[in-house]
Amino acid sequence: MTTYTQIDSNKRRSFLLLTTFLIVVILVGWVFSQALNNPLILYIAVAISFTQALIGYYAGDKITLAISGAKQIKKENNPELYNIVENLTIATGLPMPKIYIINDTAPNAFATGRNPHTASIAVTRGILEKLDKNEIEGVIAHELSHVKNYDIRFMTLTVILVGFIVLVSDLFLRWTFWGRGGNREE
């Protein structure tokens, strides 16, 4: 598989993921509206599904970075890390991503964003403390490969949409336990 077929595949998978998400949430809304004989539920499901899809697509990277506690850095904050990322982006022909550091001792890194022009790379303090320059360069090169192949769009959408489904499932379970479906005296 070439890089271009991988990029095309990830773009198609992202579109398919969003489409499937919309269909599933609307279908679930329709089932509940029929079961409870309340068409308002379907309208709410349609509104929520489109809103969440737009949020996932346009703000998923910002949500991911905020949840992880990442702080954006400039060249003067960490010139060595900045130069590593800058050199690798020049070598790969990618635009310079935003660079973030997460205050965590566990060695980890990730890339996020919709496309190479909105990409961000986050590394933990653990990586910076435990790896030497060549190893950090390898980690950043790996993350840039995710940026170049549009893996970041698909994975960011997956995380945001699955998180939404988990929240709705939890809300539904609480509603059935404490609301209409449950007996409060049990």
In the chain, domain spans: 3-178
- pLDDT mean over 121-135: 96
Is 99 in contact with 73 (CB distance < 8 Å)? yes
The maximal CA–CA distance of the chain, rounded, in angstroms, is: 66
| The predicted structure's pLDDT at residue 30 | 87
Lowest-confidence segment of 58-72, 138-152, 154-168, 171-185 by average pLDDT? 171-185
Is 111 in contact with 143 (CB distance < 8 Å)? yes
* pLDDT exceeds cutoff 90 at 111: yes
| The predicted structure's pLDDT at residue 180 | 58
Rg (CA), the chain: 21
Give the fold, CATH level 3, of 3-178: Zincin-like (3.30.2010)
Enzyme catalytic residues: 143
Query: Rounded CA gap, 111 and 124, in Å?
Result: 12
Query: Rounded CA gap, 175 and 169, in Å?
Result: 10
- Answer left, alpha or beta for residue 121, where phi above 0 means left and psi between -120 and 50 means alpha: beta
Q: Is 175 helix (H, G, I), strand (E, B) or coil?
A: helix
If one compares 64 and 128, the residue with the highest pLDDT of the two is: 128
| The predicted structure's pLDDT at residue 179 | 64
What letter does residue 84 receive in the DSSP assignment?
Answer: H
Spatial CB neighbours of 123, under 8 Å, sequence gap ≥ 6: 81, 99, 100, 101, 102, 108, 109, 136, 139, 140
